[in-house]
A and B are shown apart, each in its own frame.
Chain A
């Protein structure tokens, strides 16, 4: 299973764009990159997933370079309610990897 490395914490202000980068040097060919968000006292929530290039949904964008050894979660115009822990995971689709391993995550603190 590919191990991921993220910054432990990040600070931002309301209205700013936040980019959280994750390193996954040992990513396998069939691994997807998935990001989860966890608020205090709640279970993690799926945010976005990608395999290569760029993926965008109503919450965030995910940028993946050609070598796929890293990825960047981009949160546009954050608000106080985006304060949470963000986890980057890599895992295989199609049953090749039958579990997810959570890393340390990044605690994003958004200030007014």
Chain B
């Protein structure tokens, strides 16, 4: 299994600002994902972070709002841009090995509150 850390663990931000969330893995992994989980809801996949290329976004999520970087096989960032209160949520990253996407390991999440 992989150990995943996220920074920050939580933050309170003003609307119109941006926040970058970091995800660090203790080993090299081929696949990294970013999810959003709103209070009391299930997880929604935002995008797949691809190493060396642009992220693959799910329907309803766009790069301008959620730019993602993945400079190497152990690190990724998700930026929540021009935030509004509707962006208040928990943001989670997860990792998996290619060919085993059904077995994912999740980070602890970042709790974001936008005022």
Give the size range of A's interface with the partner. 20 to 34
Give chain A residues whose Cβ lies under 8 Å from the Cβ of B44. Answer: 102
Q: Say yes or no: A43 contacts B102, CB within 8 Å.
A: no
Give chain A residues whose Cβ lies under 8 Å from the Cβ of B43. Answer: 44, 87, 102
Identify which of residues 61-110 in chain A touch chain B, using a CB-to-CB cut-off of 8 Å.
87, 89-95, 97-105
Q: With A34-B103, A91-B102, A95-B101 in contact, do A101 and B109 touch (Cβ < 8 Å)? A: no
Q: Say yes or no: B109 contacts A91, CB within 8 Å.
A: no
Interface residue? B76 (CB, 8 A) = no
- In this complex, which of A32, A90, A95, A99 has the most chain B Cβ atoms within 10 angstroms of its Cβ? A99
Which of A92, A101, A105 lies in contact with B45, CB distance below 8 A?
A101
Docked CA distance A87–B42 (Å): 9
Interface residue? A45 (CB, 8 A) = yes
Interface residue? B104 (CB, 8 A) = yes
Identify which of residues 33-83 in chain B touch chain A, using a CB-to-CB cut-off of 8 Å.
33, 35, 42-45, 48, 58
Q: How many B residues touch A, CB cutoff 8 Å?
A: 26
Q: Say yes or no: A93 contacts B48, CB within 8 Å.
A: no
Q: Say yes or no: B106 contacts A44, CB within 8 Å.
A: yes
Q: Say yes or no: A95 contacts B98, CB within 8 Å.
A: yes
Q: Say yes or no: B99 contacts A93, CB within 8 Å.
A: yes
Nearest Cβ in chain B — how far from A72, in angstroms?
18
Give chain B residues whose Cβ lies under 8 Å from the Cβ of A91. Answer: 101-102
Q: Say yes or no: A43 contacts B109, CB within 8 Å.
A: yes
Q: Say yes or no: B103 contacts A43, CB within 8 Å.
A: no
Q: Say yes or no: B94 contacts A89, CB within 8 Å.
A: no
Q: Can you list 12 contacts pairing A with B, beta carbon distance less than 8 Å?
A: A34-B103, A41-B111, A43-B94, A43-B109, A49-B103, A89-B102, A93-B101, A100-B104, A102-B35, A102-B42, A102-B43, A102-B44
Mark A residues whose CB is within 8 Å of B.
32, 34, 41-46, 49, 87, 89-95, 97-105
- Known pairs A43-B109, A89-B102, A97-B102. 6 more at Cβ < 8 A? A42-B109, A43-B94, A44-B43, A44-B106, A46-B105, A100-B104
